[in-house]
């Protein structure tokens, strides 16, 4: 919807001119940063700030023509609906959708509107009014006043971290624009955590490549789903995930910090880790990456070289298979597919 896109663009411009607002608290830690708050100390070089400003400009350009359509939104529990029939003032009401997806309407009592779009809900209510003989030719309007059932969290180095309502179909770039763009010092790798049926997916996306249209196969502008958590780390960081004690984003000295040192920063390996199953995701430029299998035990014994890390690298420590059925996590890199990881429940 063009009005919605204009609101996003206006908010984005206000943030660029007026500075950063106080962030909302995020689900991982106080302050809305998310994961461990491992910020580098000192000031950033001007070229890094220029890169962020350039990405924000491209982000604004890419979302300025966004056609987010609230008519595609599907109704869910806790949403607030305004319902009225043009033919009868007695049918005007405001109702909160209950946990079963029902709203209580005049004449009709409970009507289930779960997973319906507003237009589909209008049609269902009109049919019921007609079938029950209350209104011969009803014209019903359903407006979603509060979108509580579907939200996306945007955390880390963005101008306004917080939870954002999904007004319809939403992409990753739309979500970042609603958070008013990247904060100075932000990295260009974005991590999206998605939970479905008790299993977590971590999706790694290079925002720089995406906005420069250099994305590899499959690296389109990711469609957001309700409950997704978007995390933008600080620049000059690597992401450590999997069977470590404190997964998150950690600062490195590029070309000096080693893989084993980064794992120590993440609190070391967990008790259920498989130290022979470590994946190093290398950034190769132009949207390309490769996965290098690393044996941590071999590194610790001196039999293998400890790889030096670069910005945009990611490390995933695997888990011992005998407990893997308790919990699932999949670390996905666009263009490469998933790196399986199955730790036990903690």
For residues 266 and 334, state if they share a domain.
yes
For residues 117 and 131, state if they share a domain.
yes
The overall average pLDDT reported for the chain is: 78
For residues 64 and 156, state if they share a domain.
yes
227 by DSSP, 3-state: which?
A: coil
For residues 99 and 218, state if they share a domain.
no
Range of the domain at 252: 236-346
Share of the chain above pLDDT 70, in %: 73
For residues 57 and 192, state if they share a domain.
yes
For residues 19 and 37, state if they share a domain.
yes
Q: What is the pTM of this model?
A: 0.68
For residues 108 and 227, state if they share a domain.
no
- pLDDT one-digit tens code per residue, 73-105: 899 999 999 999 999 888 899 999 999 999 999
Inform me whether the pLDDT recorded for 177 exceeds 60: yes
Among residues 222, 254, 232, the alpha carbon closest in space to that of 183 is found at 232
Q: Which segment, 3-7, 33-37, 127-131, is predicted with the most confidence on average? A: 127-131
- pLDDT one-digit tens code per residue, 48-64: 567 788 888 888 777 76
pLDDT computed for residue 62 by the predictor: 73
Q: How far is CA 97 from the centre of its chain?
A: 25
For residues 244 and 337, state if they share a domain.
yes
Q: Among 84, 114, 146, which residue terminates a domain?
A: 146
- pLDDT one-digit tens code per residue, 194-235: 888 777 788 888 887 787 765 444 456 888 998 999 999 988
Q: Among 184, 199, 232, which residue terminates a domain?
A: 232
CATH code of the domain covering residue 289: 3.10.560.10
For residues 13 and 158, state if they share a domain.
yes
Cβ–Cβ under 8 Å, residues 247 and 200: no
What is the pLDDT averaged over residues 28-40?
A: 41
Q: For residue 299, which phi and psi values (nearest 5 degrees)?
A: -65, -45
For residues 62 and 203, state if they share a domain.
yes
pLDDT computed for residue 167 by the predictor: 80
Q: Among 119, 146, 173, which residue terminates a domain?
A: 146
For residues 4 and 32, state if they share a domain.
yes
pLDDT computed for residue 336 by the predictor: 44
Number of domain units in the chain: 3
For residues 279 and 308, state if they share a domain.
yes
């Amino acid at each position: 919807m063009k009005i919605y896109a204009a609101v996003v663009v206006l908010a984005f411009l206000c943030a660029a001119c007026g500075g950063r607002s106080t962030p909302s608290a995020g689900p991982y830690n106080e302050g809305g940063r998310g994961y461990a708050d491992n910020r580098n100390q000192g000031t950033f070089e001007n070229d890094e700030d220029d890169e962020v400003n350039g990405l924000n400009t491209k982000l604004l350009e890419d979302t300025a023509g966004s056609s987010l359509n609230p008519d595609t939104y599907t109704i869910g529990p806790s949403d607030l609906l305004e319902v009225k029939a043009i033919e009868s003032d007695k049918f005007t009401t405001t109702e909160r959708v209950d946990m079963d997806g029902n709203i209580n309407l005049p004449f009709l009592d409970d009507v289930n509107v779960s997973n319906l779009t507003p237009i589909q809900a209008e049609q269902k209510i009109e049919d019921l009014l007609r079938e029950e003989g209350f209104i011969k030719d009803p014209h019903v309007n359903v407006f979603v006043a509060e979108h509580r059932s579907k939200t996306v969290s945007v955390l880390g180095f963005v101008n306004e971290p917080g939870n954002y309502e999904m007004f319809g179909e939403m992409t990753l770039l739309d979500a970042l624009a609603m958070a008013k763009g990247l904060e100075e010092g932000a990295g260009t790798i974005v991590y999206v955590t998605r939970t479905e049926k008790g299993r977590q997916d971590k999706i790694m996306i290079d925002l720089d490549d995406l906005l420069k249209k250099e994305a590899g196969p499959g690296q389109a502008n990711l469609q957001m789903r309700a409950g997704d958590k978007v995390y933008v780390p600080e620049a000059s960081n690597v992401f450590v995930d999997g069977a470590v004690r404190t997964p998150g984003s950690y600062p490195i000295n590029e070309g000096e910090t080693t893989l084993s040192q980064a794992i120590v920063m993440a609190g070391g390996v967990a008790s259920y880790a498989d130290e022979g199953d470590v994946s190093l995701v290398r950034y190769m430029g132009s949207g390309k990456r490769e996965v290098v299998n690393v044996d941590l035990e071999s590194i610790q014994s001196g039999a293998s070289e400890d790889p030096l890390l670069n910005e945009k690298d990611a490390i995933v420590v695997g888990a011992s298979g005998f407990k893997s059925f308790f919990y699932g996590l999949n670390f996905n890199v666009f263009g490469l597919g998933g790196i399986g990881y199955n730790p036990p429940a903690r």
